[in-house]
Amino acid sequence: MRLGVLDVGSNTVHLLVVDAHPGARPLPAYSHKAELRLAELLDEEGAIGEPGIERLIDTVQEALVVSEDKGAEDVLPFATSAVREAANAEDVLARVADRTGVKLTVLSGEEEARLTFLAARRWFGWSAGKLLVLDIGGGSLEIAYGIDEDPDQAVSLPLGAGRLTSSWLPGDPPDPADVRALRRFVRAQIARTVSDFSRLGDPDRVVATSKTFRQLARIAGAARSGEGLYVTRTLGRKALEEWVPRLASMTAAQRVELPGVSEGRAAQLLAGALVAEGAMDLFGVDELEICPWALREGIILRRLDQLP
């Protein structure tokens, strides 16, 4: 069957159309993205403003047309932290449903972490042993650990690259004092969770998902996306530590010139790097591996598991 997954995230609205069958690996058929940056469109009261709501409605309608054109039998729509944490979330969801007919399922942070973990487990298989999975989104950081398909521990922290950039790093390039303050904040937030995971023992493999980690791995020397889905891509802590001060000294326009860095994510890359560096340091991770599958694939896999 052909399924569409509509992901309303903090940075983008992403429609992924896949050919999916129980017991088989979902095969991507088409990808459609629109950058909305909902996490950066919140007003002083934490609500998504009228322009943001209208842009979201238009984008969802456009994605529906694309999914129909591509032959999707069903669309699985969900939203993450930007909508989840908006002060007017219920109004936004109601208006999207009224205008488009799409009822967005709002995932909790823990659900995000668990579904992303499921995708990583299926990608790497049982032989990977105990997994520690890290995922940096636009609005939050998800961390999950376990040996089965459902993690033993899963948390979500408000440490998304878009959220932190808009709240902590207004300059371009950012003020060094702001960078230091953000670094302290990030590490304090992550440190609160470390003991909950360390009591479970050391992981056999540490993996990371999300565009932030992929871009950091790329600038640190990992293979280009064009070299194939199955090429092993890693990110070492030492290389990341060397890149953080370099990113901090660059403007967003200069970061765009780096390999693999998109214009839409360049401004957020430093905040994402600070989160990645803090997580790897505090969890004692010297190197992690990039997982091609993440939350969207987790949604698809869960749906296939529920088919009769």
**Sheet of strand 234-236: strand arrangement:** 153-157, 141-146, 131-136, 205-209, 287-290, 234-236
In this prediction, residue 39 carries a pLDDT of 73
In this prediction, residue 269 carries a pLDDT of 98
Q: How many domains does the chain have?
A: 2
**Residue among 122, 115, 204 nearest 156 (CA):** 115
Same domain for 278 and 206? yes
Residue ranges of the chain whose pLDDT lies below 70: none
Question: Domain range holding 29?
Answer: 2-106
Q: Is the pTM of this model over 0.75?
A: yes
Tell whether 301 is covered by a domain: no
Same domain for 76 and 136? no
Same domain for 42 and 184? no
Tell whether 302 is covered by a domain: no
- CATH number for 102: 3.30.420.40
- 187-228 per-position pLDDT tens digit: 999 999 999 999 999 999 999 999 999 999 999 999 998 898
Angle between helices 295-305 and 109-124 (to 10 degrees): 80
Query: Does residue 172 contact residue 258 with C-beta atoms inside 8 Å?
Result: no
Domain finish residue from 48, 79, 106: 106
In this prediction, residue 11 carries a pLDDT of 85
Same domain for 53 and 115? no
Task: Transcribe 41-81 into DSSP letters.
Answer: -B-TTSPBPHHHHHHHHHHHHHHHHHHHHTT-SEEEEEE-H
- CATH number for 245: 3.30.420.150
